[in-house]
């Protein structure tokens, strides 16, 4: 029952029905028009024949008189068929003066007011039913000279038969048209729906767990192909996200386990050791430190996830990158000095304004400066460089530090990735992932060049608005 209801709700069924109805309506209209025209034409032709006959007999009557006309009526009716026609002349008092054989037209009575109706040479054309039969006759009555009336009747049986034949043909044709409409509708619907079915099939396959499935291209039309392409692109993205999610989960499981194991270890050592207040204080301090680190990692991971998913709409402040770089440099001056690393800055005179989130842009530069100072030994140099091109603001952080090995270079933006050489320095391997996610959030790009042992250079390119606000640029 349920299945039957569902069939009625399918697009295929509906299209089939609509096409059948459309074909039906069109054929009904066409055949209806033909029917009306045909019956009108037949009637007109019949009336014309009757009028011509009246004219011919009137002429004959005038020239040859009533006796000759009587003979003519007989002869003519027999020639055509006495069941098919009749002719008669009636006096104004309704006496029949001349007539053809009326044996087939017995029931036809003369209306009493016939003479009045036909006064002044009028003619009357009417279709009468022969009493006791289903046959119809078209009768013309017309007043001739001296008030005599001529009446000619002609059976419409042949015309009725023709119309009946037509009606039968018409009924069969409408049935055939309905069937054709249904077939065409079904075919069109099947063809259009084939693409949708392919997509459904793929979606069902994916629902069962096979994320690698894609919708094959077909030839149902551009719209379906576009839908299939959009669907495949979406799948590609979902598959990528799922893969990434899996990797992130694995990383999280692995990287969060270490601090947790450490926390557990600290607690265990304290419990099994001497139960002094100092030991417990030390444990509490270490647990707080490890927990803070964990919380920080989790916060950064959340930040990355949000930036990557694009869920969060960034505030679009007008950020002056020249100022921002100056402030960041001032902020890291102390750290650089402590490490005896020279920190320099090269910025242009102009204010380079881009739309973006000030605190996140600050974070990007801070992370890069932090890394550069962290991975540069005492006596080394770090240079923060800002310049504006017509379309972009370029920010680079170059150092003369340890550099990055070529095998590590493709991975440094991955979450938790830390090159072996840098494991002795503090860090969690999330800084560059966050930087990359935030840069992408600002529709920018980040690249890195490195010379192991000689230094590295990270370069950001952030798009400038097409028409910068001239007021801010002047400041
Ligand atoms: P973290 O600094 O916490 O280790 P990041 O994601 O910031 O994590 O960096 C990932 C890795 O990239 C670092 O562990 C390091 O191996 C490498 N790296 C980043 N910046 C530099 C740099 N300026 N010089 C040398 N290596 C770097």
Between vectors from CA 249 to CA 248 and to CA 250, what angle results, nearest 5°? 90
The whole-angstrom separation of Cα 370 and Cα 332 is: 8
Check pocket membership of 419 for ligand 1, CB cut-off 6 A: yes
Residue 450 and residue 421 in contact, taking contact as beta carbons nearer than 8 Å:
no
Ligand 1: which residue has its CA nearest to atom 13? 418
Residue 382 and residue 342 in contact, taking contact as beta carbons nearer than 8 Å:
yes
Ligand 1: which residue has its CA nearest to atom 21? 371
Residue 151 and residue 137 in contact, taking contact as beta carbons nearer than 8 Å:
no
Which of 32, 28, 16, 18 lies closest to 177, judged by CA?
28
Check pocket membership of 431 for ligand 1, CB cut-off 6 A: yes
Atom of ligand 1 nearest to the CA of 367: 7
Per-residue pLDDT of the chain (475 residues; tens, 9 = 90+): 455 557 788 888 888 889 889 988 998 999 899 999 999 999 999 999 999 999 999 999 989 988 999 999 999 999 999 989 999 998 888 888 899 988 888 877 777 777 777 877 778 898 888 877 778 899 999 988 778 899 999 998 888 889 999 889 989 988 998 898 889 888 888 887 888 888 888 889 888 888 888 888 877 778 888 888 998 999 888 888 888 778 777 877 777 788 888 889 988 988 888 888 888 898 899 999 888 988 988 888 888 888 877 655 677 889 999 999 999 999 999 999 999 999 999 999 999 999 999 999 999 999 999 999 999 999 999 999 999 999 999 999 999 999 999 999 999 998 888 888 777 788 888 999 999 999 998 989 999 999 998 999 999 999 998 755 554 444 4
Residue 371 and residue 432 in contact, taking contact as beta carbons nearer than 8 Å:
yes
Model pLDDT, residue 144: 85
**Whole-number Cα distances in Å, 249 to 207, 245, 301, 396:** 22, 6, 11, 32
Model pLDDT, residue 115: 76
Residue 418 CA, ligand 1 centroid: distance in Å: 6
Residue 50 and residue 125 in contact, taking contact as beta carbons nearer than 8 Å:
yes
Residue 358 and residue 318 in contact, taking contact as beta carbons nearer than 8 Å:
no
The whole-angstrom separation of Cα 366 and Cα 385 is: 13
Residue 52 CA, ligand 1 centroid: distance in Å: 113
Check pocket membership of 341 for ligand 1, CB cut-off 6 A: no
The predicted model scores a pTM of 0.56
**Whole-number Cα distances in Å, 281 to 78, 170, 278, 287, 317:** 139, 103, 5, 10, 46
Our mutation pick for probing the ligand 1 site, out of 377, 418, 452, counting the most ligand atoms within 8 A of Cβ, is 418
Residue 373 and residue 333 in contact, taking contact as beta carbons nearer than 8 Å:
no
The two tokens of residue 132 are 């006791």
Residue 426 CA, ligand 1 centroid: distance in Å: 10
Check pocket membership of 255 for ligand 1, CB cut-off 6 A: no
Model pLDDT, residue 472: 47
Model pLDDT, residue 474: 47
The whole-angstrom separation of Cα 132 and Cα 322 is: 112
Atom of ligand 1 nearest to the CA of 455: 24
Ligand 1: which residue has its CA nearest to atom 3? 427
Q: Within 10 Å of residue 219's Cβ, how many Cβ atoms? A: 9
The H or E element containing residue 192 is helix 157-207
Which of 102, 84, 54 lies closest to 155, judged by CA?
84
Check pocket membership of 215 for ligand 1, CB cut-off 6 A: no
Residue 255 CA, ligand 1 centroid: distance in Å: 16
Atom of ligand 1 nearest to the CA of 422: 16
Ligand 1: which residue has its CA nearest to atom 12? 412
User: How are strands ordered across the β-sheet holding 85-90?
Assistant: 96-99, 85-90, 149-155, 136-143, 123-129
Check pocket membership of 436 for ligand 1, CB cut-off 6 A: no
Residue 410 and residue 460 in contact, taking contact as beta carbons nearer than 8 Å:
no
Residue 412 CA, ligand 1 centroid: distance in Å: 7
Residue 9 CA, ligand 1 centroid: distance in Å: 60
User: How are strands ordered across the β-sheet holding 342-346?
Assistant: 342-346, 381-388, 392-399, 455-463, 445-451
Residue 270 CA, ligand 1 centroid: distance in Å: 34
Our mutation pick for probing the ligand 1 site, out of 432, 434, 459, counting the most ligand atoms within 8 A of Cβ, is 432
Residue 300 CA, ligand 1 centroid: distance in Å: 15
The two tokens of residue 384 are 């923060």
């Amino acid at each position: 029952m349920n299945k039957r209801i569902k069939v009625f709700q399918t697009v295929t069924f509906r299209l089939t029905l609509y096409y059948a109805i459309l074909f039906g309506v069109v054929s009904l209209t066409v055949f209806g028009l033909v029917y009306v025209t045909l019956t009108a034409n037949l009637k007109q032709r019949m009336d014309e024949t009757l009028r011509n006959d009246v004219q011919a007999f009137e002429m004959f009557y005038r020239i040859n008189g009533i006796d000759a006309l009587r003979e003519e009526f007989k002869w003519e009716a027999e020639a055509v068929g006495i069941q098919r026609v009749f002719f008669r002349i009636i006096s104004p008092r309704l006496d029949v003066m001349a007539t053809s054989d009326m044996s087939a037209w017995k029931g036809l009575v003369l209306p009493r007011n016939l003479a009045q109706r036909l006064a002044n040479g009028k003619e009357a054309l009417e279709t009468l039913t022969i009493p006791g039969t289903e046959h119809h006759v078209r009768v013309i009555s017309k007043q001739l000279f001296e008030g005599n009336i001529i009446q000619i009747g002609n059976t419409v049986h042949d015309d009725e038969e023709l119309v009946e034949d037509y009606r039968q043909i018409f009924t069969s044709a409408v049935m055939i048209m309905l069937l054709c409409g249904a077939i065409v509708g079904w075919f069109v619907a099947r063809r259009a729906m084939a693409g949708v079915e392919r997509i459904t099939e793929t979606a069902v396959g994916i629902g069962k767990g096979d994320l690698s499935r894609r919708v094959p291209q077909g030839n149902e039309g551009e719209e379906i192909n576009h839908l299939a392409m959009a669907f495949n692109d979406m799948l590609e993205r979902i598959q990528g996200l799922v893969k990434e999610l899996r990797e992130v989960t694995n990383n999280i499981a692995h990287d969060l386990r270490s601090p947790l194991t450490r926390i557990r270890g600290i607690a265990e050592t304290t419990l099994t050791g001497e139960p002094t207040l100092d030991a417990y204080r030390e444990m509490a301090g270490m647990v707080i430190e490890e927990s803070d680190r964990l919380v920080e990692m989790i916060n950064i991971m959340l930040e990355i996830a949000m930036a990557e998913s694009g869920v969060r709409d960034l505030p679009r402040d007008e950020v002056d990158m020249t100022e921002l770089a100056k402030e960041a440099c001032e902020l890291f001056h102390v750290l650089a000095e402590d490490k005896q690393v020279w920190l320099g800055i090269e910025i242009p005179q102009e204010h380079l304004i881009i739309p973006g989130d000030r605190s996140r842009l600050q974070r990007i530069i801070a992370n890069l400066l932090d890394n550069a100072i962290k991975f540069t030994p005492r006596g080394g140099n770090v240079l923060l460089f800002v310049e504006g091109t017509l379309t972009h603001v370029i920010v680079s952080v170059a150092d003369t530090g340890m550099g990055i090995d070529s095998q590590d270079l493709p991975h440094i933006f991955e979450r938790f990735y830390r090159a072996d050489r840098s494991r002795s320095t503090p860090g969690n391997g999330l800084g560059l992932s966050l930087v990359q996610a935030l840069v992408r959030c600002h529709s920018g790009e980040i690249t890195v060049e490195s010379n192991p042992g000689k230094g590295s250079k990270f370069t950001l390119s952030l798009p400038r608005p097409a028409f910068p606000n001239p007021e801010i640029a002047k400041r």
